Structure 1
Amino acid sequence: MPSVSMISDYLWLIPLLPFAGFLINGTIGRKLPRTLVTAIALICTAIPAAIVAWLWIVMKADGAPEVIRVVSQPWIAITGLQIDFAFTVDHLTLIMLGVVTGVGFLIHLYSVGYMAHEEGYWRFFAYLNLFMFFMLVLVLAESFLLLFVGWEGVGLASYLLIGFYFKKDSAANAGKKAFIVNRIGDFGFLLAMFLLVDHFGSLDFTHVFQAITVNPEWHGGILTAIALLLVLGAVGKSAQIPLYIWLPDAMEGPTPVSALIHAATMVTAGVYMVARCHVLFDRSPYALGVVAIIGAVTCIFAACIGMVQQDIKRVLAYSTVSQLGYMFLACGVGAYTAGIFHLVTHAFFKALLFLAAGSVIHSLSGQQDMRKMGGLRKRIPITFWTMTMGVFAITGLPPWAGFFSKDDILYQAFVSHNSLGKIPWFIGLVTVGMTAFYMFRLWFKTFFGPEHFEEHADIHDHGAAVHTHAGSHAVMVADHEESHQHGVHESPWIMLFPLVILAILSVIGGWVGVPAAMGGHNEIEHFLDPVFANNAKDVAVTTGSSGLELLLSAVSVLTALVGIFFAYVFYCKKPGTAAALAERAPALYNLVTNKFYIDEIYSALIVTPLLMFTRLFLGGVVDGGVVNGFGAAAGATTKGFSSLVRRIQSGNIRSYAGWLALGAAAVLLVMIFGRSIWMH
């Protein structure tokens, strides 16, 4: 068995190898053949995944340490504050590392086929490796400051990847929107760090959490202020109300970006941060209540919008926002283990759903509108069956992974001693039915019924075939000819292999959390016990009877079946039913279809006034008046003074003699009067 010191020596390679891949492909990738670019990108993500697997073996062995800490040297050392550049691996870190490196590698592999015809192939993989580097730094960080470096870094990489098709206005605008909205949340994170330094004199996790632990009388007050500011950061990164608006637009990026960043990793950073800071949040019931409210409202609100979306990727985008709401709800009622459990299973089935959607889009040469699909189950059978596993998993049907993690959240919300009573549980339960409805709506409209697509579809802008702005004419023509030759066709195996692996994980991934009431041992809860051992709230919410847990699970499954039934009636048995209902309530339908006009409200109340202020006041008064005025005045003064001074250089000897005499007289006067003043 390898020693801890040996593991520590290799721990630095986990984030550094993806960074090396970014440097190589980002600097000379343009000149390298695609096979070499591919090899560099895959090797630099496969080796970290192997090291993480090695860590799993070591830390699960008998007598293994619960925490591995690696410190290079003091990073910042000033009076009263020292921050080390340090990485820490505990059981929570290990779970996140497994998700990031494992799912990340599969998505890298899928991208090789999906992005095969892109001119910016090297640039895409450079950005993807850069994202992996920052995400791994975020997860491994031992301090709030180093976590913030990774936090900002994934924001940068997300901006680059969302706006990958930078010549396409919608993609460029989506990247800017994500970047700006996240800055709002990050401002809260910064303020929280300032308060931590002021109150604790440290940003080190261990120091801060130990100080809170040894002072049981500390509750509320400054701890609530810090927790709420951290929640603001988490809301921005994890796309919760009111800062969720960036994530649906992020679908403008290539589909693998949606699978990696906006389903499996970056958007879960907020959930991870709240769970990591559980010691702080446990001392502030008010902050936990805010987290629970945000999660509950977000999960049902996003599900409402997802029920009427027509773009297959946008359905999944709002589904992601909704599922993240479940994770926040779990953390808000103190069930951190349940939230992390759902984070893991969600990474499996949501990455699968996004990649399967990409395979559908690939087979239809870029078509994303579900109204122009249908009947695809026989055309692309492997994509159909793998996506079916993802649909069943997110719906919460047993024994798929989502059933165990989602039911764990609902059970903990029901028995929790929180100030909101059973309201979070009820909202979560209603969302189960809505989730089942919109996911089976997607399933029926895409794979069943008559075929609404054209056999030889035109090339559209999407991740695998956007050539109108990035590719050469020759490649575009070649792809068009290929679509005419093959029509609707299954994706290549380099894309299907990750789908198969993720489909398997979507089925069995939840079995690590089978509760005792269902004959299991809930291994993930025991695995995370060392991290949340002192969480009194988590202990409180796990009390309950096996009979109650089974009853609540049955209610959840029945609710999901009701949602499936309505989806079947509306979109399979009587396809015109949904349109008829929309015609009967056009105001309500338009309200939901237009996403409750939240973007328009933000634009009217915030964006437009801010732009007017910057253009009129900053651009007109400050820049045009003050800055330009001072500049013009300085120029005029200099010009006027120089016009006087240049007269001295007349070339006339008598003029020079006069100026010399005048200067000598001035010197004498200064000396005489200066001496007189000095003597007095």
Structure 2
Amino acid sequence: MNLLFLTFVFPLLGFILLAGLRDQISEKLAAIIGVGSMALSALTALYVATDYLGQDTQGAYYHQILWTWMHIGSFAPSFGLQLDGLSLVMLGMITGVGFFIHLFASWYMRGEEGFARFFSYFNLFVASMLLLVLGDNLLVMFLGWEGVGLCSYLLIGFYFKNPDNGFAAIKAFTVTRVGDVLLLIGLFILFQQFGTLDIYEIIVRAPEVLTSGSPAVTWASLMLLGGAVGKSAQLPLQTWLADAMAGPTPVSALIHAATMVTAGVYLIARMHPVFQLAPDVLYFVGVIGAITLLMAGFAALVQSDIKRVLAYSTMSQLGYMFLALGAEAYQAAVFHMLTHAFFKALLFLSSGAVIIACHHEQNIFKMGGLRKTIPFVYVCFLVGGGALAALPFITVGFYSKDEILWQAWAAGHPELFWAGIVGAFLTSIYTFRLIWLVFHGEEKTHAHKIEGVTYWLPLGVLLVLSTCIGALLQHPVGHVLNNVLPEFVVNAAVAHDKHFVEYTAIGVALLGLIVGAVLFAFNYASVQKMANTSVGAGIAHIWRNAWGFDALYHLIFVKPYLMIARLLGRDPVDRIWGVFPVLVRAGNSVTTNRQTGSLRGYAAAIVIGAVILLMILIVIQVLGK
């Protein structure tokens, strides 16, 4: 386990090499460095995991201090790493799924300008995420947190020659910075309470130092939640995620599956002892997740861009994870995060294959009939879409999502359960719509065949993991997490409701697929007719624009900011100081104009001055008596 540091050092070295040599090396060498560094990281993670699980004290907390980061008075945070069950699951997910995304990217980005630059950012992204989940204190975690924010900006705006992509990158960076500021405030509160930012010490001492429901723990939890909703694109900081599709498709896969958006879920799960001392805030986490998953589900129903449909599905699935965290189903949330990484990476990489086959076309209404041209990608979409819709028994999404719904019900939160049920219904409809419009019907864009081992191998592995075979990880993952996250205990009074919950979830998922088939396969003309009515068009416009949050934020924040910027652009401070030279010049003008050389004028001025002084003296004398 002493090789743990190499898991993030390898991609960091890849970044340094590619950043320094990117204009001097070939695509092949850049791919070898970029993908090879991820392969070494994944192999090191596998070795570390094997060593960790082979120890007699399974579930122990392994701590590796690399150096003392800084020493300011009594504040001396280390630059160290930690390994326990939660960070081990995250480590495997990031390096494993991240490697296959890197491998696919070496095929997808072939011939693109800035190939080596792309992989340098990609490697730094993974290194930052690994630092985030392995950091032994909240300061190291925050360093990784800011690192993924920076890399998201660089990768979303990779095609920077298009101004819209630059604006999308700025938007993602700005919106997530709002959450980062809140997170930083939360860290200040925790340091004020504990005198340290060491994660393990805060977790152990939380019940002793913090009082349940006190202002300190409430505000600390709210600030941590602010950081989490920013990175995981939950209400009200969700607006950046759909625009993040401006980056290359492998970037979307990495952000949405294995890295950035999972950071918020990890943070709340890691700091759950603090959140449990603020039960109202913890329940609020679940409410935010429930509202977000519903809003994103409706928005996904009307999108025309293949990647934006998947983006809103990511937002929705993250909502399920937040819902689970709010219901204290921590292990279910982490397991769904893992399974989501499998099938969402599969879906995004498959969409990348579709985009390449269709000559970079992303509008699903301009596709159709692709199942004949790219049948393997069609199978990948069927399996990935089935997992997204939680198709019963044969897909991995069924085992993780339905566990969340059951534990939300068993925790005594039926409102969260029913929100999840409605969300599952919407997911089935928009998943069927996506697959039907892209792969069935009349061919609108002629697609060419695609091939290459770096294309089909990542898809093949992720396809297998997205089936019920991936569900075999549920028990090992639960076993590893038992010593880190509390196991959900079902109240005996509601234990008999499990079959009701299962049958409801299965029935709703299947009903959604049937409704989707009726609407888009057999009665699509009626759907189009409804969409062309004033009511239908209005609803579609609201959903397509994500319920108008962008317009609202533009009105509340952007316009006032621009107005202030224009005001300050004229530099009012300099203008105020400019008054003094004006007064001096005016005084100089008055005095110099009085220098006429006329003796009569000077004599008159002396007499007038003497009269004025005499009058002042008389007034003073009178007032003095």
TM-score normalised by structure 2 residue count: 0.90
Within the alignment, does 1:259 sit opposite 2:253 as a pair?
Answer: yes
Aligned to 1:145: 139
1:235-246 matches, cutoff 5 A? 235-246=229-240
Aligned to 2:468: 508
How far residue 509 of structure 1 moved from its aligned partner, in angstroms, is 5.2
Report if aligned partners of 1:383, 1:490 keep a CA contact under 8 Å in 2.
no
Q: Deviations over 1:545-571 (max 9, x none)?
A: 665323311211110111101111111
Within the alignment, does 1:550 sit opposite 2:507 as a pair?
Answer: no
Q: Distance in 1 between matches of 2:342 and 2:491?
A: 25
Aligned to 1:54: 47
Q: Deviations over 1:339-363 (max 9, x none)?
A: 0000000000001000000100100
Q: Distance in 2 between matches of 1:344 and 1:220?
A: 34
Which stretches in structure 2 are left out of the alignment for 5+ residues? 585-625
Aligned to 1:578: 527
Letter in 2 for 1:63: D
Q: Deviations over 1:362-387 (max 9, x none)?
A: 00001111111111101001111112
Aligned to 1:619: 569
Q: Distance in 2 between matches of 1:558 and 1:544?
A: 24
Q: Distance in 1 between matches of 2:388 and 2:414?
A: 23
Aligned to 2:277: 283
How far residue 542 of structure 1 moved from its aligned partner, in angstroms, is 6.8
How far residue 217 of structure 1 moved from its aligned partner, in angstroms, is 5.2
Structure 1 residue corresponding to 2:516, chosen from 564, 567, 571: 567
Aligned to 2:372: 378
Task: Number of aligned residue pairs: give it.
Answer: 583
**Aligned pair in 2 of structure 1 residues 610, 217: CA closer, same or farther (>3 Å)?**
closer
Aligned to 1:104: 98
Q: Deviations over 1:9-61 (max 9, x none)?
A: x1111111111111111111210111111111111111110111112212222
Aligned to 2:79: 85
Q: Distance in 2 between matches of 1:23 and 1:354?
A: 28
Helix, strand or coil for the counterpart of 1:82? Answer: coil
Aligned to 1:412: 407
How far residue 619 of structure 1 moved from its aligned partner, in angstroms, is 1.8
Report if aligned partners of 1:97, 1:139 keep a CA contact under 8 Å in 2.
yes
Helix, strand or coil for the counterpart of 1:79? Answer: coil
Aligned to 2:67: 73
Report if aligned partners of 2:407, 2:488 keep a CA contact under 8 Å in 1.
no
Aligned to 1:14: 7
Q: Distance in 2 between matches of 1:543 and 1:125?
A: 52
Within the alignment, does 1:438 sit opposite 2:388 as a pair?
Answer: no
Letter in 2 for 1:404: Y
Helix, strand or coil for the counterpart of 2:273? Answer: helix
How far residue 543 of structure 1 moved from its aligned partner, in angstroms, is 5.6
Helix, strand or coil for the counterpart of 2:69? Answer: strand
Helix, strand or coil for the counterpart of 1:259? Answer: helix
Aligned to 2:595: none
Aligned to 1:427: 419
**Aligned pair in 2 of structure 1 residues 541, 195: CA closer, same or farther (>3 Å)?**
farther
1:265-664 matches, cutoff 5 A? 265-397=259-391, 398-417=393-412, 421-453=413-445, 455=446, 488-508=448-468, 510-512=470-472, 522-532=475-485, 535=486, 538-541=487-490, 547-584=496-533, 585-586=535-536, 587-616=538-567, 618-620=568-570, 623=571, 625-627=572-574, 630=577
Q: Distance in 2 between matches of 1:27 and 1:189?
A: 33
**Aligned pair in 2 of structure 1 residues 631, 16: CA closer, same or farther (>3 Å)?**
farther
Report if aligned partners of 2:27, 2:115 keep a CA contact under 8 Å in 1.
yes
Q: Distance in 1 between matches of 2:169 and 2:305?
A: 19
Structure 1 residue corresponding to 2:37, chosen from 44, 64, 77: 44
Helix, strand or coil for the counterpart of 2:468? Answer: helix
Aligned to 2:225: 231
Letter in 1 for 2:547: F
Report if aligned partners of 1:402, 1:510 keep a CA contact under 8 Å in 2.
no
Letter in 1 for 2:314: T
**Aligned pair in 2 of structure 1 residues 567, 491: CA closer, same or farther (>3 Å)?**
farther
Letter in 1 for 2:404: I
**Aligned pair in 2 of structure 1 residues 178, 592: CA closer, same or farther (>3 Å)?**
same
Q: Deviations over 1:489-523 (max 9, x none)?
A: 22433112111110001013542366xxxxxxx33
Report if aligned partners of 2:126, 2:259 keep a CA contact under 8 Å in 1.
no
Letter in 2 for 1:222: A
How far residue 64 of structure 1 moved from its aligned partner, in angstroms, is 3.9
Helix, strand or coil for the counterpart of 2:532? Answer: helix
Q: Distance in 1 between matches of 2:134 and 2:544?
A: 41
Q: Distance in 1 between matches of 2:115 and 2:582?
A: 51
Q: Distance in 2 between matches of 1:359 and 1:217?
A: 53
Helix, strand or coil for the counterpart of 1:93? Answer: helix
Query: Once superposed, what is the RMSD of the aligned Cα atoms?
Result: 2.1
Aligned to 1:160: 154
Letter in 2 for 1:149: L
Letter in 2 for 1:602: Y
Aligned to 1:467: none
Helix, strand or coil for the counterpart of 1:507? Answer: coil
Q: Distance in 2 between matches of 1:211 and 1:261?
A: 33
Letter in 2 for 1:575: Y
Q: Distance in 2 between matches of 1:301 and 1:541?
A: 29
Report if aligned partners of 1:363, 1:491 keep a CA contact under 8 Å in 2.
no
Aligned to 1:202: 196
**Aligned pair in 2 of structure 1 residues 30, 631: CA closer, same or farther (>3 Å)?**
farther
Q: Distance in 2 between matches of 1:290 and 1:564?
A: 31
Q: Distance in 1 between matches of 2:493 and 2:388?
A: 25
Which stretches in structure 1 are left out of the alignment for 5+ residues? 1-6, 456-486, 515-521, 638-680
Report if aligned partners of 1:341, 1:524 keep a CA contact under 8 Å in 2.
yes
Q: Distance in 1 between matches of 2:237 and 2:285?
A: 14
Q: Distance in 2 between matches of 1:390 and 1:542?
A: 34
**Aligned pair in 2 of structure 1 residues 509, 634: CA closer, same or farther (>3 Å)?**
farther
How far residue 629 of structure 1 moved from its aligned partner, in angstroms, is 5.7
Helix, strand or coil for the counterpart of 2:77? Answer: strand
Letter in 2 for 1:556: A
Aligned to 1:469: none
After superposing the two structures, state which structure 1 stretch, 340-349 or 589-598, moved more.
589-598
Report if aligned partners of 1:415, 1:543 keep a CA contact under 8 Å in 2.
no
TM-score normalised by structure 1 residue count: 0.83
**Aligned pair in 2 of structure 1 residues 634, 451: CA closer, same or farther (>3 Å)?**
same
After superposing the two structures, state which structure 1 stretch, 22-31 or 583-592, moved more.
583-592
Q: Distance in 2 between matches of 1:213 and 1:251?
A: 42
Report if aligned partners of 1:362, 1:491 keep a CA contact under 8 Å in 2.
no
Report if aligned partners of 1:393, 1:403 keep a CA contact under 8 Å in 2.
yes
Q: Distance in 2 between matches of 1:59 and 1:545?
A: 37
How far residue 78 of structure 1 moved from its aligned partner, in angstroms, is 2.0
Q: Distance in 2 between matches of 1:452 and 1:109?
A: 30
How far residue 630 of structure 1 moved from its aligned partner, in angstroms, is 4.2
Q: Distance in 2 between matches of 1:631 and 1:541?
A: 73
Q: Percent identity?
A: 39
Q: Distance in 2 between matches of 1:213 and 1:241?
A: 29
